[in-house]
Chains A and B, each alone.
Chain A
Amino acid sequence: EPEVTQTPSHQVTQMGQEVILRCVPISNHLYFYWYRQILGQKVEFLVSFYNNEISEKSEIFDDQFSVERPDGSNFTLKIRSTKLEDSAMYFCASSRTGTGRANVLTFGAGSRLTVL
């Protein structure tokens, strides 16, 4: 069964450092998403991406965050200058339709980010 793959599985970084989390969505999917889950809290929407641009972003997705699809397969989340409160599990997801009742997101296993 097709999978969404994420790397790294765990990254430890110092506060203020830049971090890039990578995702390879399912190959025939057109819509891409990042979510995050702070330990013990709910899974929160960060951003959705379609046709090489952001289609929606949450209040969490401030100027410190950016997303990019640098080639035909990868989808990356960059945090420019990490803060302690960025420590979380980050999930990438992709879907074929993007909207409507048939929209089903397939999630990756997550990248755990620890900011010291």
Chain B
Amino acid sequence: GDSVTQMEGPVTLSEEAFLTINCTYTATGYPSLFWYVQYPGEGLQLLLKATKADDKGSNKGFEATYRKETTSFHLEKGSVQVSDSAVYFCALSPDKIIFGKGTRLHILP
């Protein structure tokens, strides 16, 4: 069945460092791909999405490109801030959302 694999956490970076969180997927058909973020004590918020191959989703300085040839949707940010500390979930959707395990990100000041 469809599934998402993302890198294990926690990931700890210093403020202003470059961030990459890897995500690969397995799917039949052509799903939409998402990154959701969960800040401490809050629910799951949509961070960005891409609906077809080569689309780039972006929001709040984060970017991810839908790569069909490598079945990947890696999350990147050029300069992270302390406020980016959260758990990040890669997900795909033919209809319902299927989530990866989540990657906890700690940003140190």
Contacts and interface: CB of A to CB of B under 8 A. Distances in A.
Contacts of A110: 43
A65 interface: no
Given A101-B32, A103-B32, A104-B49, A45 B43 contact: no
A75 interface: no
B105 to A, nearest CB: 16
Chain B contact-residue range equals: 20 to 34
Interface string B25-54: 000000010101000011111100101100
- Kindly name the residue among B36, B93, B97, B102 whose own CB sees the greatest number of chain A CB atoms within 10 A: B97
- Please give me the 7 A-B residue pairs with the lowest Cβ-Cβ distance, nearest first: A109-B43, A107-B44, A43-B99, A101-B51, A42-B101, A99-B95, A107-B43
8 contacts: A33-B97, A41-B101, A42-B100, A43-B89, A43-B102, A105-B46, A108-B43, A109-B42
Interface of B: 32, 34, 36, 41-46, 49, 51-52, 89, 93-102
